[in-house]
Structure 1
Amino acid sequence: MRRVVLSAPAKVNLSLAVGPPREDGRHPVETTLLALDLLDRVTLALDDTARGDGIRLAGSGPAWSEDVPRDGRNLAVRAAEVALDLAGRGRMRGRIGIEIEKRIPSRAGLGGGSSDAAAAAVGTALLAGLDPLGADRARLCGALAALGADVPFFLAAADSGLGIGSGGGERVRPLAMPATSRALVLLTPAIGAPTGRVYAALDALRAGDSPRGTWPGPAPPEDPSRCLTLSIERARARLANDLEPAALAAIPGLARLRAALDGAGAGHFRLAGSGASFFGLFEDEDAAHAFLADPRVSRMSRDYGLRLVRAVRPFGSGLRIEAH
């Protein structure tokens, strides 16, 4: 039995600009993504003695929950299928088992499902004899774009964990990761923020202001990575998310948590993706842990049922092969 083990990181959007819906109903975006050292562990095993082919998924870990599907609806299974199609089904016989040990909460805006999918695709490609981090990376990224905006980021930016996504998010320009002492704090409430509901709220808030059609997008920041090297005040001022007002309007519980953050001196926190997590940027790990030690954070954790309260650092990679 052959095995591949990968680390799959969470992400946040340091900036997220969303355009009006196109004729196909999808929203173009321009976003800067950063991978974090909150990691799922994804293990793929090929049993070439098993009868029949196919992919089976198992899940475990502190963040595994029953809302995560175990069948073909799971992005990791779909991504493995994409890699098999790219390699050619005849190149590999046997059953693939995918085991995901989850530490990234679901329904959190932290990209855990997309990260697991990218890892599953890379692991499957390796088992099939492809070179997913080298000669076959561009082809695999292109094929994975159909699975959602975040999936290609983790593969395209595998060497740095930092990049700019545009279009539907599927076009990714990797960026070099600067040396930085920065840390982040993640706060994830018990409630979720369904992506479709948040985008519908965005369209409702903008009704009459933005016609459908081509969106040229905002000019990307001169150097998005400077968010990790500027003074902390200037860096926090660069954090932006067009979806946050819509999420606050659509999910009352998020609006209450937003008010609690403001009252705790954490007005600089921003929503992660479409939610439901919030994240804050700090000078270093000491500053992040000092914030977490504030009694007001303990009260927020109790009052809002926070299921993740954690200081993290940039991971420096979009995914990492730990064993092959």
Structure 2
Amino acid sequence: MDEIKVLSFAKINLSIDVGAARGDGYHPVDMVMQQLSFHDDVDLKYIRNNDGTRGNIDVQVKTNRYYLPTDNRNLAFKAARLMADRYGKQVDSGTVRIDIKKRIPVAAGLAGGSGNGAAVIHGLNVLWDLGLDLTKVCLLCAELGSDVPFSALGQAKANYIFPKPMRKDPMAASCARATGRGTELEPVEGIRKPVVIAKPSISVSTKEVYQGIDSCEIVSRPDNDKLVEDLAAHSDGAYDNFINVLEAYTLDHYPAVAKLKQVMSETGAEKVLMSGSGPTVFAVYNHMKAAMSACDKLRDKGYEAYWTKTIK
């Protein structure tokens, strides 16, 4: 196989708790992440030089979003270079061509870029017939960023073009609890619900939010042990622990996000919460018709909004 299309799924955070910054500047997290069916398409081709050499690998990236970088600032590019540096000597020299059809909003707390990076790791594992298991794939993904390993778990679960051992790996999951730097993952039961994701026309700096959260008063924190139990029991009580402590900073410093959350709270949703550090807010519904109606209303108000569903 010299070509593969990998579905690169968005994620939302059902909960986020954050500890005090460590000596290395990172904040330990304890959170539950859930994959959505909303996705980018990452098409990979490997064009061999057929010159009898190995290890000389070029990387080319293109995307339908003119403003996205296609060099080392792009996680998909970084992922390809990581794979080439690590495993290039095992394959014929050639060119990795990556074509990303973006749907997921950029810099929105939905792990769009992280998912693209994971998709490239997965895709080259297949194209180069490396036979890496999901644990090794996740270790590579962890070198790219904190959300990338979770993206790899969800892609392994829902990309049916992948080899069966990858799809059936015990770690393949569309919902997981993440601790430490967000790369220590435990698959958990997720939800199966219609969801609307929406964002105002602003960006929020993740670095700024994490630096600012230390000075915020956190009124309520999620009980993630209880959340995992309620998810496993399919209990609506799980919504009680859909809590994102990063809202304490973002909603205060970015009124547009707070306003969006209030608007979405008036659409009949079961739960409304900010994803990641923002600015995206998501709403969970019991029926897709309600989600689609809410999405239309948000678009009428000028928000970038999409209706989708979770994956189990």
Q: TM-score, normalised by structure 1?
A: 0.80
- Residue type of the partner of 1:70? T
Distance in 2 (CA, whole Å) between partners of 1:167 and 1:194 is 21
Distance 1:281 1:263 in 2: 12
**In the alignment, what sits opposite 1:146?**
143
Q: Distance in 1 between matches of 2:12 and 2:189?
A: 17
Deviation at residue 50 of structure 1 after TM alignment? 8.1
Find the partner of 1:256 among 248, 259, 269: 259
Tell me, yes or no, if the aligned pair for 2:34 and 2:176 is still in contact at 8 Å: yes
Which AA in structure 1 matches 2:144?
Answer: L
The answer on whether the counterparts of 1:227 and 1:236 sit within 8 Å (CA) in structure 2 is no
Shift of residue 283, structure 1, vs aligned partner: 1.4
The range that moved more, 111-120 or 195-204, is 195-204
Relative distance call for 1:39 and 1:49 in structure 2 (3 A) is same
What displacement does 1:301 show?
Answer: 3.6
Deviations 1:219-274 (A, max 9, x none): 63246274486454x34322110111211122232233234344556693100111
Distance apart, 1:145 and its partner CA:
0.9
Partner deviation per Cα, 1:86-142 (whole Å, 9 max, x = no partner): 32434241010011001111021111101111001111122222124xxx3212211
Give the one of 212, 225, 228 matched to 1:224.
Answer: 228
Give, in whole Å, the separation in 2 of the partners of 1:218 and 1:259.
Answer: 20
Which has the higher relative contact order, 1 or 2, with Cα contacts under 8 A spaced 6 or more apart?
A: 1
Q: Is the 8 A contact 1:261 1:267 kept in 2?
A: no
Quick one: structure 1 residues 166 and 107, their matched pair in 2 at CA, closer, same or farther if it must change by over 3 Å? same
Task: Describe how 1:153-232 pairs up with structure 2 within 5 A.
Answer: 153-157=150-154, 158-159=156-157, 160-177=173-190, 180=192, 182-205=193-216, 220-222=224-226, 224=228, 226-227=230-231, 230=234, 232=236
2:36 aligned partner:
36
SS at match of 2:143: helix
Comparing 157-166 with 257-266, greater Cα deviation is found at: 257-266
Q: Which amino acid aligns with 1:221?
A: D
Aligned counterparts of 1:229 and 1:288: Cα–Cα separation in 2: 24
Are the equivalent residues in 2 in contact too, given 1:87–1:125 (CA < 8 A)?
A: no
Runs of at least 5 residues in structure 2 that lack an aligned partner in the other structure: 158-172
Shift of 1:163: 0.9
The alpha-carbon deviation at position 27 of structure 1 amounts to 0.7
1:311 offset after TM fit, Å? Answer: 1.8
Conserved? CA contact 1:201–1:250, under 8 Å: no
Aligned in 2, Cα 1:259/1:190: closer, same or farther, shift over 3 Å?
same
Q: What residue in structure 2 maps to residue 214 of structure 1?
A: none
Render the CA deviation track for 1:58-108: whole Å, top value 9, x for unaligned. Answer: 001xxx351x21101111111122223332434241010011001111021
Q: Give the fraction of aligned pairs with identical amino acids, expressed as a percent.
A: 29
One-letter code aligned to 1:189:
P
- Matched-pair contact (CA < 8 Å) for 2:83–2:124: yes
Query: 1:320 matched to which residue of 2?
Result: none
Contact 2:274 2:280 in 1 (8 A): yes
Count of residue pairs brought into register by the alignment? 291
Instruction: Indicate how the Cα distance of structure 1 residues 4 and 240 shifts in structure 2: closer, same or farther if over 3 A, else same.
Output: same
Distance 1:267 1:248 in 2: 20
Gap runs ≥5 in structure 1: 208-216, 317-324
User: Structure 1 residues 50, 28: CA separation in 2 closer, same or farther (over 3 Å shift)?
Assistant: farther
Correspondence 1:49-60 to 2 at 5 A: 49=49, 53-60=57-64
| 1:225–1:36 distance in 2 versus 1, CA, 3 Å | farther
Mark the CA change 1:101 to 1:15 in structure 2 (over 3 Å): closer, same or farther.
Answer: same
TM-score (norm 2): 0.83
Partner of 2:119 in structure 1?
Answer: 119
Residues 177 and 139 from structure 1, CA distance in 2 versus in 1: closer, same or farther, beyond 3 angstroms?
A: same
Q: Once superposed, what is the RMSD of the aligned Cα atoms?
A: 2.8
